[in-house]
Amino acid sequence: MRVEEGAELAPLTTMRVGGPAARLVTAETPDELVDAVREVDDADEPLLLLAGGSNLVVADAGFAGTVVRVATRGVTVESVDLCGGAMVRVAAGEPWDDLVAQAVLEGWSGIEALSGVPGTAGATPVQNVGAYGQEVAQTIASVRVWDRQDQRVHTFANADCRFTYRHSLFKATDRHVVLDVLFQLLPADLSQPVAYADLARQLGVAVGDRVPLKEAREAVLRQRRGRGMVLEPDDHDTWSCGSFFTNPVLAADDFAGLERRAADRLGVDGPVPPRFAAPEGHVKTSAAWLIDQAGFGKGYGLPGPAALSTKHTLAVTNRGDATAYDVVALAREVRDGVREAFGVTLVNEPVLVGLSL
């Protein structure tokens, strides 16, 4: 394990903000990862896990404890057959998009619509990462973790992970440290059915059609680049955590209230809130729509130091010299503005360390 004192955390995150860690430990094997976490726990010190840094905003004061950086690597094909599919075990620190690229190359269908998502494989089950009609819950067979409370390795089957929209058993708790994820992918030349209307239009197919895996990946990457959602060192629109807010999932009565407030604000013939069916009779709507209609358009906050992306209203971005305080202040302004306009409280997607909205 590599140990550094006072290491800067900002360069290790996609938002590029935050102060130093009192101590940074880089773990490159599962055993090193477990040993590092156990050492911190035995010393009863604060612990922060960091992998790709794509879903993390750290306070300007930094972290007064040990940050364990998950740098494990490895993709192991355990079996491939027509009945069980391709069973692929992936180390927690494996870069996610590298895995998607390999899956497309190998002819494993099921995660191609998640191309370009930043971060690591071990982070994907935590918030049930999803995009363009796919989410990892559809392909995860099991998740192997280190249980800090019981001090043992435990494997959770998919059904035990309690996956819901952008949530799982592992979110909002620091009990479980993901060691690796077993994916069950489908050996196929074609993608899963295209479920996102804009993507289908770009591909020239109908929603529900399948396309060659490579074409699906390239189309998703084009869509994400157009929204500033593929990391580019020279493009400040990509200095972000991706979507800063999750799409609200509302009870039917609450959505009806949103429709009434939208009509009052925008006129009865004005734009209406998007609606998508959600489990248990709920309705999912668009956070981006709410932000835009509340008066926070693309580029809001420019010239900076923090501003909404010029390509996508959901992304709070660092224009080059923003602090964590700047980022959270803008996010808070947007959240409060949406709540005042439409009575809906947006929930942040990234983890805030030493900060709150």
Annotate 191-213 with b (16+ C-beta within 10 A) or e (fewer).
bbebebeebbebbebeeeeebeb
Residue 48 pairs in a beta bridge with: 67
- Collect all residues with Cβ–Cβ distance below 8 Å to 147 and sequence separation of at least 6: 153, 154, 175, 176
- What percent of the residues of the chain are helix, what percent strand, and what percent coil, each to the nearest 5? 30, 25, 40
Length of the chain: 357
Query: How wide is the angle at C-alpha 114 spanned by C-alphas 112 and 116, nearest 5°?
Result: 105
Choose, from 54, 142, 191, 243, the residue flagged as catalytic. Answer: 243
- Is 243 labeled as catalytic in the residue annotation? yes
Q: What are phi and psi of 54, to 5 degrees?
A: -90, -5
Q: What are phi and psi of 173, to 5 degrees?
A: -150, 150
Residue 132 burial by Cβ neighbours in a 10 Å radius (0-12, 13-18, 19+): buried
The 3-class SS string of 189-216 reads: CECCCCCCHHHHHHHCCCCCCCCEHHHH
- Is 349 labeled as catalytic in the residue annotation? yes
- Is 201 labeled as catalytic in the residue annotation? no
Indicate the SS3 state at residue 86: strand
Give start and end residues of each alpha helix (H) in the chain.
30-42, 96-106, 197-203, 213-226, 252-266, 287-293, 324-342
Choose, from 166, 217, 224, 335, the residue flagged as catalytic. Answer: 166
Active-site residues, by number, are 166, 243, 349
